Structure 1
Amino acid sequence: MSDDAPLFVVQQHDARRLHYDVRLEVDGVLKSWAVPRGPSLDPTVKRLAVPTEDHSIEYAEYEGVIADSKYGSGAVIVWDAGVFTNLTEDHGHPVDAAEAIDRGHLKVRLQGVKLHGTWAFTRTGQDWLLVKVRDAFADPRLDLTSAEPRSILSGLTIEEMAATAS
Structure 2
Amino acid sequence: MLEKYRKKRDFKETPEPAPGNSKKDLDKPIFVIQKHDASTLHYDFRLEIDGVLKSWAVPKEPPSKAGIKRLAIQTEDHPLEYADFEGEIPEGHYGAGKVEIWDKGTFKLKKFEEKEIIFTLDGEKLQGGYVMIKTKFGKEGKGWLLFKKKAE
* TM-score, reference length from structure 1: 0.71
The question of whether the paired residues in 1 share the 8 Å contact of 2:87 and 2:98 is answered with yes
Kindly indicate whether the alpha-carbon contact (under 8 Å) linking 2:64 and 2:125 is maintained by their aligned counterparts in 1. Answer: no
Partner residue, 1:84: 107
Aligned-partner Cα distance in 1 for 2:30–2:68: 24
Match of 1:148 in 2: none
Residue correspondences, number: 123
Q: Does 1:112 align with 2:123?
A: yes
Q: Report the equivalent of 1:135.
A: 151
- Deviations, residues 130-161 of structure 1 (Å, cap 9, x unaligned): 0110127xxxxxxxxxxxxxxxxxxxxxxxxx
**Residue identity opposite 1:63 in structure 2:** E
2:63 alignment partner in structure 1? 40
Runs of 4+ in 1 over 2 A off after TM superposition: none
Please, which runs of 5 or more residues in structure 1 have no aligned partner? 89-96, 137-166
The match for 1:24 is 47
- CA separation in 1, counterparts of 2:78 and 2:133? 20
Native 8 Å contact 2:133 2:145 kept in 1: yes
Q: Which amino acid aligns with 1:32?
A: S
The residue matched to 2:91 in structure 1 has which SS? coil
**2:74 alignment partner, one of 51, 55, 60:** 51
Residue 12 (structure 1) aligned to one of 35, 40, 44: 35
Identity of aligned residues (%): 47
Residue 42 (structure 1) shift: 2.9
Aligned residue identity for 2:104:
A
Tell me which amino acid in the other structure corresponds to 1:108.
F
Amino acid of the residue matched to residue 44 of structure 2?
D
More helix by share: 1
Q: For residues 109-145 of structure 1, give each alpha carbon's deviation from its aligned partner in whole angstroms, at most 9, with x where no partner exists.
A: 0001111101101000220000110127xxxxxxxxx
Contact 2:107–2:119 (Cα < 8 Å) also in 1: yes
Give the aligned CA root-mean-square deviation in angstroms. Answer: 1.3
Other-structure match for 1:66: 89
